[in-house]
Each structure stands twice: as structure tokens, then as C-alpha cells.
Amino acid sequence: MAQVFAYILHKDGVVDDTALELAAAAKKIDAGATPNAIVVGAGDALDGVCNDMAASYGEVWKVANDALTYPDAEIVRKLLANILPADSIVLFAHEHLGMDLAPGLSVKLDAAFVPDVVDIEGADGSTLKLVRQEFGGAVSAHVTCDASQGAVMTIRPGVFAADESKSAGGQVVDKSADAGDFAATRKFLEIVEAEAGDVDITKSEVLVSCGRGIEDEENLEIAFDLAKAMGADVSCSRPIVDAKWLPKARQVGTSGQTVKPKVYLACGISGSFQHMGGIKGNPFIVAINKNAKAPIFQVADVGIVTDMLDFLPELTEKIEEL
Amino acid sequence: MEILVCVKRVPDTSENEIELNGAGNDIDRDDLVYSVNEWDNYAVEEALQIVDKVGGSVTVISVGDDESEEVLRREMAMGADKGILLSDDAFENVDGRGIATILKAAVEKGNYDLIFTGAQADDGAAQVGGMLAAMLDVPFASLVNTIEVNGDKLKIGREIEGGNQEMYEISLPCVLSIQTGINEPRYVGIRGIRKVASVEIPTLGAADLGLDAAAVGASAARVQRTDYFLPEMGDGAEILEGSTEEIIDKLVELLKAKGGLK
């Protein structure tokens, strides 16, 4: 089996949670092998990140350069194409950098590409047996990947339990000299921070959250009425923000806010992994959805199969009577 | 600005419940309602708005069977000037790499400054744009949620975590994958569809594109879906049943116990 590499996300010297999840994923490809890590960046904190990773990976390939102070996918893709051996298996977290970087890298390496992998069932020779999801998580699919000329995969964050064994006893190898030049045809300018909203849903203990099931902007009133009766705040899923019915500051999910309420009422929300990725702290989740097959019912504590538009006003009335 | 927008015909998940067929190895494709991939509407709208500002034209393109023509026509009803269908028996069951290879051949027959894809489609892969850019050797950015044209360069924003945005200057030509929410796609009425009903949409096959059918087709696909299945999850939610009144009584008790009522 080919050598497995994991691309390590880190920021300000702190390693992302996905770093050890990728180590676990690598071992599901080949339990006996020791995966390598790739750490790119700049500054004093980089060596700390590399040393941390040496506990979990056999070799930690370091590329240090001031051009990598902010990880621009184009620059990183180019250097990875220069340093990776032919036929490698390369793992990324399926988040915004991986999505920007990995598909093009697979072309540059002439390797197979499998995005958003949620499970790895093993390898049969150089054929990897993987699991993906389609249609917003409504169904799963078995996928085979011919990795004989290498493979690039993005791994969904949170699906593999982090490999905390830290028994690799690895070493840091400086590959900076092999990385090539750092020229780019796109230029990183800045990060624009999200605007603060009228309500800080990250501090809310109880959230009434609405999704597509709200159907119309005017219907938002029933969510606000229920939230008022419960002493809760109103949050939402992505389609509501895309439609400009509520501001981005009220969006729960990986591209929105990360909330940690005690109680989360998911109303007309299907429960995509991007949405659920924004809910932390193991709240009590109530799902209200007219589609009995909505993925949200798999992760909720309590489910009610009904149209939120009929149900919410009745629930509000009952709570107001208490 | 000559803009090409790659679009895909997909089962409409807001109109269908996606379920497995009787054999349990594929989704039930009977009576599925299809529409254009949601992300692609935002891409077409963005292209139209750019052309409104700086001039040029918008072409929509799709790899698919004859039925994908309706999707191209819908996007032309939004205002796209031209449609191109890439269709061939050899294109069936290709993987993402195969789709990008077919699109690359079509791109090279035109002269485009800017190429859009949706950020993802029904299979959640988010792969074709990045592959196409790498094959064309032009810059790429994914999850784009703002675009500002500055001469021969663009200033773009990418959606990253926490509602934050990563800003880049990117040179043309380039490929961008467009995220939902970048604009508000215009409504297409029946009259708009009728207006473009008889516009000819050229169809190009493998030979027209100079592609070796064996090199792009299913036999060349290194990534293949073998079947669909429903995963065994944990216990799942306890479904509250009974009359609405009974359900509400149960729910209120639970909410009280869990600190959901103040």
C-alpha cells in the first residue's frame, strides 16, 4: 500500500481537531502502516505544531516560508505537487481549504479524487472501499477508488474519532528546499470578519431554529412568537440566510455560527452535516419536520413528524397558557 | 467578458423524497422531479449581473443526456445568451474527473474569460471546478460569495468558517465555484421559458470535442459508486405520537425538564 499523508490544519500554533481524525482515517486504510503528516506555514509557532504531530505521525514533512503565513490553497497545492511522491494517498479535512485545494491537486498528481468521505471500509489491493453521502445525507453510497496511481481524499470532519494514541514517535523532516517557488496567480488580501448581529445566538440557552420548512418570509413570525413564549432566540439554517430572510449572524452551521444551547428546536430543518457541525455541547434536540426521512431525525433526541407551520402556533398557544 | 457557466440537471430534493429502490442498490428514480442544481442558478445570476455591468455574453453548458436541454433552456430563460449540450453515450457513468475532462475540451473550443460552476451539486462532491481549473492551468477559487470586476482582475470573497470571508485578487481567465447566497437569482416565468423554447442548442459528442471515448468514459473512471444504501444510525429520535394535543403535552413536559422553558 502506498504511503498515506495527512495535511494538517493549524492556526496560531494550535492544531485543528481534524489532525488526529485524519490519523485515525489513515489507519482505516491500512492498520499496519504509519501515516506521515504535512505541516506548512511560517513563524515561530510552526515547530511546535510539527513536534506535536510527530507524536502521531511517522514523519512530519515541514515546509516553512513567509509566503505561507496565510495558507493560500494555490500556493499550497503547488508545493504539495512538488514534494509528494508519486502514487501517494493524501488526506485533507473536507472544509474550505481542502475544498479549494484538493480537487486540483488530484489532477496535478494524476491521482484519483474522492471528496467528503464519511467512512473507510478498507483496501483490497490498491482499491479503496469508501463511503460517501449524497442528496444532503438522505442516502449513503459505497464507492470504490482505484488508488494504483495515488489518491487524494477529503475526509468529513467529526466522523472519525481522533487517534489519541500518540505513540508514533515520529520525526520532523524539513522539505522547504524541495517546495519550489511560491509564486501565485491569485493574491490573498485579507479576512473580512462576520458582522455582529442584533442577537448573539452563540450565547443563547434555547434556540428555535428554522429551515426551508418555513416556506415563506412571512411565516417567520410563528418562530419568533414561539421563541418569545419560550424565552428563546430564533436561529436558522443556511437557506433562510441565502433568501435574505434573516441575517447571517443568526445562521447555525460550519459557515455560520457555532452554538451551544441547552435545548435546540430544529423546525423544518433537514439536518445537513454542515448545519449539525455548528451545534456543540450535546444539547437536547427536538426535530419538527414533515418529512419522516429527514436526516435530522437520526441525530435528534425527540422527533415530531408534522408540518411546522401548523404545529408551532399550537405549541406557542399551549406554552402561553402555562 | 465572455462567461461560461457549467450547470447540472439533478433530482430536486425539495420536490422529492430521495428513497432507495426495491432492490436497495439505487435510489428510486421513478417519478423523480428534476431541476437545475440550486448552486448553478446563483452562478448564472452572477454571470448575468457581471455582463450587465461590463458587457459580454453568458453561455451555459451541461454534460448530460437529451433531458438536460430543459435545464439549459431554463437558464437561457434567465438571460443566458447561448446553451451548449455535451452529450454522448460514452459520457455515461463518468466520474468527476471525466466530467472535468469533457468540459475542458469544450472550454478550449471557445474563448472564455471566466468560468463558473456551482460550489457543489446533488452528490456533494464540490470537485469539478477545481479539477477543470487545474486541467486548464488557470487560477481557481471555491465557495465564492462576492465578485467585483476590476479591469482584467477580480476581487473575490470566499466563504470560510464562522461567517467570515477570505478576500483574494485573482487574475483572468479563471474558474470560480459559486456559493449560494451570493445574489438573489431572478424568477423565471413560463413566458420566459416560451421565449427560448425554439432557440437551437448545439449538441457536441466525444468526436466533436476530439475526445477518445475510452479515455473519458466509465471504463476510465477510477472512482465508481457501487450502490446506494441507508446507513445504520444510532437509536435516532424518539418519535412523539398521538393527537397533536398529546404530542404538545409530552413535548412541553420534556422542554420543562431540559430547561427549554423560562
In tens, the pLDDT along A267-276 reads 999 999 999 9
| Residue A22, domain member (yes or no) | yes
DSSP string, A10-32: EETTEE-THHHHHHHHHHHH-TT
d(CA B166, CA B49): 22
Out of B125, B228, B259, whose CB is closest to A116?
Answer: B125
Same domain, A205 and A316: yes
Which residue ranges make up each domain of chain B?
2-220
State how far residue A186 is from chain B, nearest Cα, in angstroms: 4
| Residue A193, domain member (yes or no) | no
Out of B135, B155, B223, whose CB is closest to A112?
Answer: B223
Residue A191 sits at the chain B interface (C-beta within 8 Å): yes
Q: What average pLDDT does the segment A82-103 reach?
A: 97
Same domain, A134 and A225: no
| pLDDT value of position B262 | 75
ipTM, 2 dp: 0.95
All residues of chain A having their beta carbon less than 8 Å from the beta carbon of residue B160 are: 96, 191, 255
Residue B137 sits at the chain A interface (C-beta within 8 Å): no
Same domain, A36 and A170: yes
Which of A51-65, A197-211, B30-44, B211-225 shows the lowest per-residue confidence on average (mean pLDDT)?
A: B211-225
Q: What is the pTM of this model?
A: 0.94
Residue A197: closest CA among chain B residues belongs to which residue?
B163
CA dist A18 to A42, A53, A98, A290, B180, Å?
A: 20, 12, 12, 34, 26
Cis peptide before B173 (omega within 30 of 0): yes
| Residue A209 cell numbers, joined | 431554529
Q: Who's near B202: CB < 8 A, 6+ residues apart?
A: B84, B85
| pLDDT value of position B235 | 73
Out of A99, A143, A302, whose CB is closest to B238?
Answer: A302
Residue B229: closest CA among chain A residues belongs to which residue?
A140
Burial grade of A288 (CB within 10 A; 0-12, 13-18, 19 or more): buried
Residue B162 sits at the chain A interface (C-beta within 8 Å): yes
Q: Which segments within A148-227 are labelled E, that is strand?
A: 151-155, 171-174, 186-192, 206-210
All residues of chain B having their beta carbon less than 8 Å from the beta carbon of residue A297 are: 236-237, 239
Out of A141, A244, A286, whose CB is closest to B251?
Answer: A286
d(CA A84, CA A4): 10
Same domain, A209 and A170: no
Are B86 and B209 a contacting pair, CB within 8 Å?
Answer: yes
Residue A99, domain CATH:
3.40.50.620
Q: Which of A178, A209, A228 lies at the terminal end of a domain, its last residue?
A: A178
Same domain, A277 and A213: yes
Q: What average pLDDT does the segment A124-149 reach?
A: 94
Q: How far from each other are the two terminal CA atoms of chain B, in whole angstroms?
A: 57
| Residue B9 cell numbers, joined | 440537471
Inter-chain contact A230–B131, Cβ cutoff 8 Å? no
| pLDDT value of position A129 | 98
Are A239 and A259 a contacting pair, CB within 8 Å?
Answer: no
A149-170 pLDDT, tens per residue?
999 999 999 999 999 999 999 9
**Residues in a beta bridge with A265:** A208, A286
State how far residue B61 is from chain A, nearest Cα, in angstroms: 21
Tell which A residues from 18 to 77 touch B, by Cβ distance under 8 Å: 72-74
| Residue A188, domain member (yes or no) | no
| pLDDT value of position A196 | 84
Q: How far from each other are the two terminal CA atoms of chain A, in whole angstroms?
A: 64
Same domain, A152 and A271: no
Inter-chain contact A231–B171, Cβ cutoff 8 Å? no
| Residue A259, domain member (yes or no) | yes
3-class secondary structure, B45 = helix
All residues of chain B having their beta carbon less than 8 Å from the beta carbon of residue A250 are: none
Report the domain count for chain A. Answer: 2
What is the CATH code for B2-220?
A: 3.40.50.620
Same domain, A12 and A142: yes
d(CA A153, CA A287): 32
A104-123 pLDDT, tens per residue?
999 999 999 999 999 999 99
Same domain, A77 and A212: no
Q: How confident is the model at residue A198 (pLDDT cuts 50, 70, 90)?
A: confident
3-class secondary structure, B118 = strand
Q: Who's near A252: CB < 8 A, 6+ residues apart?
A: A201, A207, A209, A235, A236, A237, A258, A259, A275, A278, A279
Same domain, A151 and A27: yes
Q: Which segments within B89-139 are labelled E, that is strand?
A: 114-118
Same domain, A245 and A294: yes
State how far residue B88 is from chain A, nearest Cα, in angstroms: 23
Same domain, A117 and A242: no
Residue-number span of the structural domain to which A293 is assigned? 201-321
State how far residue B198 is from chain A, nearest Cα, in angstroms: 32
| Residue A263, domain member (yes or no) | yes
Are A90 and A5 a contacting pair, CB within 8 Å?
Answer: yes
Low-confidence spans in chain B with pLDDT less than 50: none
Q: Which segments within chain A are labelled E, that is strand?
A: 4-7, 10-11, 14-15, 36-41, 59-64, 89-93, 112-117, 119-124, 127-134, 139-146, 151-155, 171-174, 186-192, 206-210, 233-236, 263-267, 284-289, 302-305
Q: What average pLDDT does the segment A289-311 reach?
A: 94
Same domain, A262 and A220: yes
| Residue A155, domain member (yes or no) | yes
| pLDDT value of position A63 | 98
Inter-chain contact A244–B140, Cβ cutoff 8 Å? no
Are B129 and B149 a contacting pair, CB within 8 Å?
Answer: no
Out of A146, A184, A256, whose CB is closest to B222?
Answer: A146
CA dist A316 to A15, A313, B160, B249, B256, Å?
A: 44, 5, 36, 12, 14
Inter-chain contact A265–B163, Cβ cutoff 8 Å? no
| pLDDT value of position B234 | 63
- A137 pLDDT higher than 90: no
Residue A237, domain CATH:
3.40.50.1220
